[in-house]
C-alpha cells in the first residue's frame, strides 16, 4: 500500500467499486445498526455476513466473494468471532482513497 497510488492501484480500487451492489453494501455499512441485531455490537466489530447477504439478496457464496473483493481492495476489514465473520468499513483507507481521487484524478 503506497502513499501515492499510481494508475494501476487506483484502477484496482475502482474495480472493486464497479458493482452497484458492492457500492450499496459499503454505504449500508455506514450505519451498522440498520442491520438486524446480533450478539456482538455491530459498531465495534462490524456486521456479520448473513445480514449483509440477506439485505443484498444474493447467494451466500456471492456475498462472501463480494466482501472478499471489498476487503482485498482495502475498503473493509473482517473480524472473525466464533463462527461469524463480521465486516466493517475501514474509514481511514476509504478517506485516503477519497483524498487520492480528489488530488490525483
Partner DNA sequence: CACACATATCGGAAAATCGCGATATGGCGG
Partner DNA sequence: CCGCCATATCGCGATTTTCCGATATGTGTG
Contacts of 24 (CB under 8 A, 6+ apart): 56
With CB under 8 A as the contact rule, the residue among 11, 34, 60, 62 that binds its own copies is 11
Does residue 60 touch DNA according to CB under 7 A?
yes
What gap in Å lies between CA 84 and CA 5, rounded to an integer? 33
Does residue 28 touch DNA according to CB under 7 A?
no
Does residue 84 touch DNA according to CB under 7 A?
yes
What gap in Å lies between CA 16 and CA 71, rounded to an integer? 9
In the bound state with its own copies, the residue whose beta carbon lies nearer, of 81 and 104, is 104
Query: 86 and 78 in contact (C-beta within 8 Å)?
Result: yes
With CB under 7 A as the contact rule, the residue among 30, 31, 43, 62 that binds DNA is 62
What gap in Å lies between CA 47 and CA 97, rounded to an integer? 22
Residues that bind DNA (CB under 7 A): 15, 18-19, 21, 48-50, 53, 58-62, 64-65, 67-69, 78, 80, 82-86
Amino acid at each position: 500500500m503506497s502513499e501515492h497510488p499510481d494508475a494501476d492501484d487506483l484502477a484496482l480500487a475502482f474495480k472493486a467499486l464497479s458493482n452497484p451492489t458492492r457500492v450499496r453494501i459499503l454505504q449500508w455499512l455506514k450505519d451498522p445498526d440498520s442491520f438486524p441485531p446480533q450478539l456482538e455490537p455491530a459498531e465495534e466489530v462490524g456486521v456479520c455476513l448473513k445480514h449483509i447477504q440477506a439485505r443484498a439478496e444474493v447467494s451466500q457464496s456471492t456475498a462472501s466473494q463480494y466482501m472478499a473483493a471489498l476487503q482485498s481492495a482495502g475498503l473493509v476489514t473482517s473480524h472473525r468471532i466464533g463462527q461469524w465473520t463480521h465486516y466493517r468499513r475501514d474509514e481511514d483507507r476509504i478517506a485516503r482513497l477519497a483524498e487520492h481521487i480528489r488530488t490525483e484524478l
